[in-house]
Structure 1
Amino acid sequence: MTPAASLAEGLRALTIDVPACAQEKLLAYLALLDKWNRTYSLTALRAADKAVSHHLLDSLAILPFLPLPADGCLLDVGSGGGMPGIPLAIACPARSVMLLDSNGKKAAFLRQAVIELGLPNVAVHAGRVEQYHPQHGFAVIVSRAFASLADFVALSAPLLAPGGAWLAMKGACPQAEIARLPAGVGVDAVHRLTVPGVEGERHLLVLRKTLDEPPQADSEK
């Protein structure tokens, strides 16, 4: 099966409607990622036949759970090769997406991807999340294997807009990590995801502030 057919079939299985022009851009992103990955090791995945499922479909599987409004700003922390931020930005052109990564080579790739793919709704910041000080907060902050839940929310708490939500993409449901969430942060929802072509458990955790006080970093780490 061609990558285009695999993507179209996977989107149907996820019941996600992505226009044909956006699907073409998603595949162009994969081609660019593969080209850069040969030199800069942007991702650990090397199997070309798994790129659609593990990069595109895995990222887009969280699309139905993105909090409204659809035009709210999204921050992808530890974006790496651009996942899930770039696939989400392609599928949701009305939503502004900021890709953040502290690795200079990865940030260079992200900037090039934004230019070559023509993504006016995407910006890139190279640096550590705790040293990032934007003028406005983000409605959604997402991470894909960035850190433990406690570190994720503690480091990015100043960047979350009032009423905003953290979305943490995980494999098995991390009960131990949930138990160590800092005071003032609670689990709003846990969604078990079934991603076509991806074996093993996949979960999306939606976290929100429950108190006015900011979460503190985990002192035991």
Structure 2
Amino acid sequence: MQDSVETVFSYFPDLTGKQREQFAVLGDLYREWNSKINVISRKDMDAFWVHHVLHSLAIAKLVRFLPDTRIMDVGTGGGFPGIPLAVLFPECEFFLVDSIGKKIKVVDGVKEALGLDNVVARQMRVEEVKEKYDFVVSRAVTAFPAFVPLVRNRITGNSRHALGNGILYLKGGDFEQELAAFGNRATVYA
């Protein structure tokens, strides 16, 4: 698979002109920030579009967030999956949290450069978050059984989506064992 913004465009052909422009500059923004603050391994920057952007946008193939949906990205790191999702869903609110300040500095810089008014980023631990969100997204911050207690009380009960409100957790490898204790309350989408 080719690793370029064109790959994103091929998977998401209905992007607006503005979204295409935002995605088009994303790679250069992260390369620039990564030269100052290492948030993505140098080796992984070679697969930026597939490993980071498309991986984040896989959530959009599962659920199409409705306008005014509130999404919290826990352990966002450099802004994944939150930033790509915020570009794709400009009418939704994204709250990106990470306990490491330099990562939030990168997120704020990328957010500003892209003009993402729908993103708020904070240096804090998820345990400090008081508000509730429709969905919590994350990319393998910790083992799933340890993650659920951190966020379950931060999800609203009123769902407007075909897929009920909850956790959308991106993780590779053998995830089945971590989910065994959750029975039919958890689903793996490959």
Equivalent residue number for residue 52 of structure 1: 49
Q: For the Cα contact (< 8 Å) 2:9–2:20, is it kept in 1?
A: no
Shift of 1:126: 0.9
Distance 1:171 1:125 in 2: 26
Tell me, in whole angstroms, the C-alpha distance in 2 between the residues paired with 1:141 and 1:69.
Answer: 15
Pair 1:39-2:40 in alignment: no
1:48 shift after superposition: 4.1
- Alpha-carbon distance change, 133 to 61 in structure 1, aligned in 2, over 3 angstroms: same
In structure 2, the residue matched to 1:154 is: 149
User: 2-side partners of 1:162 and 1:168: how far apart?
Assistant: 18
Amino acid at match of 1:144: R
Which residues of 2 match residues 67-78 of structure 1 at below 5 A?
A: 68-78=65-75
Q: Distance in 2 between matches of 1:150 and 1:141?
A: 15
Measured against aligned partners, the alpha-carbon deviations of 1:131-181 in whole angstroms (never above 9, x if no partner) come to 2223xx100100101111112111011211114210010113411111244
> 3-state SS of the aligned residue for 1:86?
helix
* 3-state SS of paired residue (1:172): coil
CA RMSD of aligned residues (A): 2.4
Alignment of 1:122-133 (within 5 A): 122-133=119-130
Secondary structure of 1:123's counterpart equals strand
C-alpha distance in 1, partners of 2:169/2:40? 19
Partner of 2:81: 84
> 1:1-221, aligned counterparts within 5 Å?
6-12=4-10, 14=11, 17-66=14-63, 68-134=65-131, 137-163=132-158, 164-181=165-182, 186-187=185-186, 189-192=187-190
Change (3 A) 1:16 1:71: farther
- Separation in structure 2 between the aligned mates of residue 11 and residue 44 of structure 1, nearest angstrom: 24
The separation in 2 between residues aligned to 1:68 and 1:32, in whole angstroms, is 26
Which has the larger displacement, 58-67 or 149-158?
58-67
CA drift at 1:96: 0.7
Larger helix proportion of the pair: 2
CA-CA distance at 1:52 after TM superposition:
1.4
Provide, for residues 76-125 of structure 1, a one-character-per-residue CA deviation record: whole Å limited to 9, x for no partner: 00000101100000011011111110001011111122222110111011
Structure having the higher strand fraction is 1
Percent identical among aligned pairs is: 30
Distance 1:124 1:15, change over 3 A: closer
Checking the alignment, whether the CA contact within 8 Å between 2:44 and 2:51 is kept in structure 1 is no
Gaps of 5+ in 1: 193-221
Contact 2:65–2:92 (Cα < 8 Å) also in 1: no
Give per-residue Cα distances to partners, 1:173-202, cap 9 Å, x unaligned. Answer: 411111244x9x811x3211xxxxxxxxxx
Say which SS state the counterpart of residue 99 (structure 1) adopts: strand
